[in-house]
Structure 1
């Protein structure tokens, strides 16, 4: 993925992009009071285990492993966009197995990756579309990226989609906190990309921040993609990253 690595921003650019997106996404809504448990301003993570999920069968995982496919671990954006992504990849001759779960932060997503690695073995390309729900506790994220890289080893490629969150239905203060915490997640990914030669980023946040109009055209509530425009744009970036991996 050399061409995309050449475009990687420095830390200042990451936070400038985040700040620009935050300003563009802020609306006028009623103020909300953070709870005592809300350490980072975005609120608290709810019970994601009861939410929707999409998990491939054992037969699909085995087929993907044996036919140079891709295993994907994601959250609600991936639950929504996974079928469309699978179709795009299939058109390129690449099969996709998914373990996507709405509301899930990265730690249990990496648990699922580890489980598949032990139970089935892994293909040479892993897609991580997770990090959105880590805005509620950003400091724990970097350790999970390190853990991911240990699980996959040095002979596989990890393609990781970075984050853009600024929930427009929330107060202005929470929207700014969302964007600040998104930038925090992205900064940790940026550091990890420098550390691991087999980690490549899909720069969704920078793509959105490059044109302020994209934040409303391609996101429907500051998080999930619009369909089909946002879904196609994000999935196209992912396909580009996987083809280069």
Structure 2
């Protein structure tokens, strides 16, 4: 390992990554590629051992508490594989179970459908008018249905724009070009959005720290080829 890469690993070790409120409108397989990782939800917590994986259901919140022991030489990595349907359904298995899962994934709640659309294309027009046009509903019907599901358009749009920004920050440059203003616009926020403050409130970690850690990421991600991200 050269001196520059070693110094980056040392920085990552000094600044352990911890994130809360990670929530995606897709099924996500979490895999501990290197090291063991502490994970928690609102109801339970535990450690994902190296080499182990688990599937996070659609729209379930996760808090990442960091690696249990950081080996500066080996590093640590938790990988998020984002699917357009449950991983089990995508890989086959029992025909009846897979078919049922595909049916469930194909007909999600309105909140989930909107959240997926926002995540994939965060800079689109997600005003009430734009969102209603996207799902083929009137604004009134849209708001009523979201209320019935216990959600709201503004909160859903904001959450998924931030999730998209988070994953972009976890991608080594030049994926987002090092320019925070450009990244903000790319995910539908204003160019003058105070990403550090917004991230600290929502994720418990500032955007600048994530940008530093992206060189030696503790959290990596990939997305199913059937899901098309719009930049």
Quick check: TM above 0.5?
no
The higher radius of gyration belongs to: 2
| Structure number with higher strand proportion | 2
| Structure number with higher helix proportion | 1
TM-score by length of 1: 0.28
